[in-house]
């Protein structure tokens, strides 16, 4: 015979493996499991050699009322309870929300763990890639979005910051139309296609022209890093504004362990300017990881048409390698594909199919190879 207290303790242990998708902690660590009640089921007897029958009620307290991920959390809790093998259980989930005092204590504890930029802590394992370009129009944001979606599809815990404050575009490319959840002053990034995202474009009034000077730009980056609960992602991507302005310098100062990835197109007018965005590494403590040549060719009936010329990526790679004194490889030459624009504008990164799986052909294979190269030591 299995008693109620044993069942309640065993179920609590199982629930310790259920992770809150936003905070990245178990629901038990976060205090979201207020109580577990296991009672013998009236009118149901396990019989000789059969399992005992119990009704189990789990009292769940969400961090905020109407949490957008409440269904996901309750489904995981339900599954954990239903999988208990030693008794015939009928689980019931009762969902409420935390009291103000309990929530205040939880947020205070989380903030105390990360009194500063969490990506500068000793021992942090997050790989940080800042995606840069010398000029606009080379597909930098499209590269960022598809690369982030690729990392997530490959199983990496992936985050992305839209650091292009004036020309933000990641919300549209990921089909995001919601605002981050505000948890008593701590923001939860919006998750889309497996990527945790934050952008000024997610906030009210962001459809108007943004007229910010340097100090406010720097403060926005600091807030994106320290006031957003990122957990401990494997990969963080930053979509930088074109050029070598305030935000590029702020990123280098706030994230000295970031690695710069320079995006260019084949023509000299783009590649010459792209070199300058890489040369910022001479002034700040940031390494240039490599170069990506976008719109390298358009494939038509098996023939690769070099619509924008050729050699831009190689030129940027060669000049940066010489100027910086270490190898800056050309890591990818991505084709010009209308689908990148069409699918991206519709809110789904083109590297993913409609079910969110990474495509194994075409642009999916190209970005998979790029992601693997970037993660290589």
Which residue's structure tokens are 């340097």? 214
243 class by beta-carbon count within 10 Å (0-12 exposed, 13-18 middle, 19+ buried): middle
Q: What is the pTM of this model?
A: 0.74
Dihedral angle of Cα 160, 164, 169, 171, to the nearest 10 degrees: 40
Q: What percentage of the chain carries pLDDT values higher than 90?
A: 24
Does residue 56 carry a pLDDT above 70? yes
Are the CB atoms for 331 and 370 separated by under 8 Å? yes
Highest mean pLDDT among 19-33, 139-153, 325-339, 353-367: 139-153
Average pLDDT for the chain: 81
Does residue 202 carry a pLDDT above 60? yes
Which residue's structure tokens are 């590269």? 143
Token pair listed for 247? 């935000």
User: Apex CA 358: angle with CA 354 and CA 360, to 5°?
Assistant: 110
Q: Tell me, what's the pLDDT at 211? A: 45
Q: Which of 294, 292, 290, 320 is nearest to 308 (CA)?
A: 294
Q: Tell me, what's the pLDDT at 274? A: 83
Pick the CATH number of 4-98 from 3.30.450.20, 3.30.530.20, 3.30.300.130, 2.60.120.510: 3.30.300.130
* CA atoms within 13 A of residue 325's CA, in its CB half-sphere: 2
The answer to which of 35-44, 56-65, 241-250 has the lowest mean pLDDT is 241-250
Are the CB atoms for 335 and 297 separated by under 8 Å? yes
In which band, very low, low, confident or very high, does the pLDDT at 129 lie, cut at 50, 70 and 90? very high
Going by the annotation, the residues of the binding site for ATP are 134-141
Helix (H) or strand (E) holding 112: helix 100-113
Does residue 131 carry a pLDDT above 80? yes
**CATH homologous superfamily, domain 127-376:** P-loop containing nucleotide triphosphate hydrolases (3.40.50.300)
Are the CB atoms for 276 and 320 separated by under 8 Å? no
| DSSP tag of 19 | B
Higher pLDDT, 100 or 151: 151
Token pair listed for 276? 């300058």
In which band, very low, low, confident or very high, does the pLDDT at 149 lie, cut at 50, 70 and 90? very high
Q: Give mean pLDDT, residues 195-213.
A: 68
Does residue 128 carry a pLDDT above 90? yes
In which band, very low, low, confident or very high, does the pLDDT at 201 lie, cut at 50, 70 and 90? confident
Does residue 78 carry a pLDDT above 90? no
Highest mean pLDDT among 36-50, 157-171, 258-272, 321-335: 321-335
Task: Give me the DSSP letters along 177-237.
Answer: -SPPEEETTEEEPEEETTEEEEEGGGSTTTTSPP---HHHHHHHHHHHHHSB-----SEEE
In which band, very low, low, confident or very high, does the pLDDT at 349 lie, cut at 50, 70 and 90? very high
Tell me the per-residue pLDDT of 235-244, one tens digit each, with 9 for 90 and over: 999 998 876 6
Tell me the per-residue pLDDT of 112-126, one tens digit each, with 9 for 90 and over: 666 566 777 777 889
Domain residue spans in the chain? 4-98, 127-376
Does residue 265 carry a pLDDT above 50? yes
Going by the annotation, the residues of the binding site are 134-141
Higher pLDDT, 148 or 29: 148
User: Apex CA 32: angle with CA 27 and CA 36, to 5°?
Assistant: 95
């Amino acid at each position: 015979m299995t008693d109620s207290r044993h069942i309640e303790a065993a179920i609590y242990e199982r629930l310790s493996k259920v992770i809150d998708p936003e905070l990245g902690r178990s629901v038990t660590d976060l205090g979201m499991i207020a109580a577990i009640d296991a009672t013998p089921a009236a009118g149901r007897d396990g019989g000789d050699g059969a399992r005992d029958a119990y009704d189990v009620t789990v009292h769940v307290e969400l961090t905020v009322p109407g949490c957008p991920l409440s269904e996901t959390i309750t489904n995981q809790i339900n599954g954990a309870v239903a999988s208990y093998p030693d008794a015939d259980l009928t689980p019931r989930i009762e969902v409420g929300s935390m009291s103000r005092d309990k929530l205040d204590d939880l947020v205070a504890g989380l903030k105390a763990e990360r009194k500063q930029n969490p990506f500068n802590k000793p021992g942090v394992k997050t790989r940080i890639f800042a995606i840069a370009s010398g000029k606009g129009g080379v597909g930098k944001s499209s590269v960022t979005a598809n690369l982030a979606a690729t990392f997530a599809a490959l199983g990496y815990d992936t985050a992305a910051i839209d650091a292009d404050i004036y020309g933000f575009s990641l919300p549209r490319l990921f089909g995001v139309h919601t605002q981050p959840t505000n948890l008593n002053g701590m923001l939860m990034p919006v998750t889309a296609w497996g990527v945790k995202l934050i952008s000024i474009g997610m906030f009210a009034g962001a459809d108007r022209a943004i007229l910010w000077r340097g100090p406010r730009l720097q403060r926005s980056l600091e807030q994106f890093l320290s006031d957003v609960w990122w957990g401990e992602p494997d990969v963080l991507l930053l979509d930088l504004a074109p050029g070598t302005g305030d935000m590029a310098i702020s990123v280098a100062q706030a994230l000295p362990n970031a690695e710069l990835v320079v995006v260019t197109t084949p023509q000299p007018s783009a590649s010459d300017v792209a070199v300058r965005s890489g040369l910022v590494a001479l002034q700040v403590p940031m390494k240039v990881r490599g170069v990506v040549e976008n719109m390298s060719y358009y494939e038509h009936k098996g023939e690769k048409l070099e619509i924008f010329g050729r050699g831009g990526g190689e030129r940027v790679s060669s000049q940066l390698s010489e100027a910086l004194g270490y190898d800056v490889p050309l890591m990818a030459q991505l084709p010009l594909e209308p689908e990148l624009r069409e699918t991206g504008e519709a809110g789904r990164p083109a590297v993913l199919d409609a079910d969110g799986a990474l495509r194994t052909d075409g642009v999916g294979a190209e970005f998979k190879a790029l992601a693997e190269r970037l993660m290589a030591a």
